Amino acid sequence: MFVSALMVSLNACSGSDDSDGGDGGNSDEIVGTWKLYGDMVEGQVIPDNIEPCDDEIYQFQSNGNLKITEKFCGEPSDVYNINWEKSGDNLYKMVAEGQVVEAFYVVFSEDGQYAYHYESVDEMQTQSYGEVFKKS
C-alpha cells in the first residue's frame, strides 16, 4: 500500500515540475512581445515621438527563438530571425549562426510591463542611456 501511494505521489510530482510548458525552453521574464517605447536618459523615461506606422518589435520565444520586426512608414518591413539566451544576471545575448551578435543588459519594471535595455553595465547602473520596451 505504501509503494502504491509513493508511485502515485511521484507521478503527480513529475508533471508539476514542468514550469516551461514542456518544451524544454526558457521561462524567463523576457519571453513575450516587446515594442520599442522610448529612451532612458539620465534616469528619465522619454517616450518616442514616432510615426504610428513605424514600429520596432522583438518577439522572444521560450524555445530561444527571437523575431525582430522593424517597420518604417511606406517601406517593406525588415524581419530578422535569430536566437537569444540568458547569460547571467540581467545579461542576455542575441546569437546568429553560433556567433554572438549583441550582448545587452535588461532590467524589468516591478510590474513586468517595461524592459530597460542597456549596452553596458555602466549604462545599466547609472541609467545614463538605454532603450525602453513595453510588453504588448
Q: What is the mean pLDDT of residues 120-134?
A: 96
> Is the pLDDT at 21 greater than 80, yes or no?
no
Write the pLDDT tens digit of every residue in 95-104. Answer: 999 999 999 9
Instruction: Give the right CATH number for 21-135 from 2.40.128.490, 3.90.76.10, 2.40.50.100, 2.60.410.10.
Output: 2.40.128.490
Q: What is the mean pLDDT of residues 124-134?
A: 96
Residues in the chain: 136
Grid cell of 2 as nine digits = 505504501
- What 8-state DSSP symbol labels residue 77? P
Q: Is there a contact between 34 and 115 (Cβ–Cβ < 8 Å)?
A: yes
Q: What is the mean pLDDT of residues 58-70?
A: 97
Give the per-residue pLDDT at 26.
Answer: 55
pLDDT tier, 28 (very low <50, low <70, confident <90, very high otherwise): very high
